[in-house]
Structure 1
Amino acid sequence: IFDVWMMVVFGIVGYFFKKLRYPLAPLVLAIVLGDNAESSFRQAMLISQGDVTVFFSNALVGGMTGLALLLLAWPLLGWLVRRARGD
């Protein structure tokens, strides 16, 4: 019965993704890479004893972290700009 409920839930999620024209590629990428990213994040936090500045420790790592944060915030920034312009 658990499998049936999972199918229903993911069917509803898929319906809303399709209705909102959300691309499928980011979702698949998150599902595939999410576990590895979480393990690596946990390992980095354990090694640095909880210090988040390890993600900005040198130019390459800082640039990649900054780019990731920018890409994460991009939809919100675009929405705020469109709202400010009145589009």
Structure 2
Amino acid sequence: MKVRMRSQVAVEEIMARKRKLADDIEHKDIWIKGDMNLEEREKERVLRSEAKVKKKKRTEIEKKNFYWRVLDMRLKKWYLRKKEEVVEEARN
């Protein structure tokens, strides 16, 4: 579905809050992405392809610590939180 907004302020506000959807179980399958031109879509496709290759090349130890993902049109290492860290954070 494509939604057109009347103001750029509304767009920026929605884009800033879109990550909260990932935390909401009822809306977990909803994704919000900004509009991209053909060149931007191609660049993102190439980056996703690179991320997929790098994910496959990880060692077993690396698989427990991080994975590769495309974020803000850049390829980034995304570190996984250890269960102990999550439990400790919940206690505080």
- Under a length normalisation based on structure 2, what TM-score does the superposition of the two structures give? 0.29
More strand by share: 2
More helix by share: 1
Bigger relative contact order, structure 1 or 2, given CA contacts below 8 A and separation 6+? 2
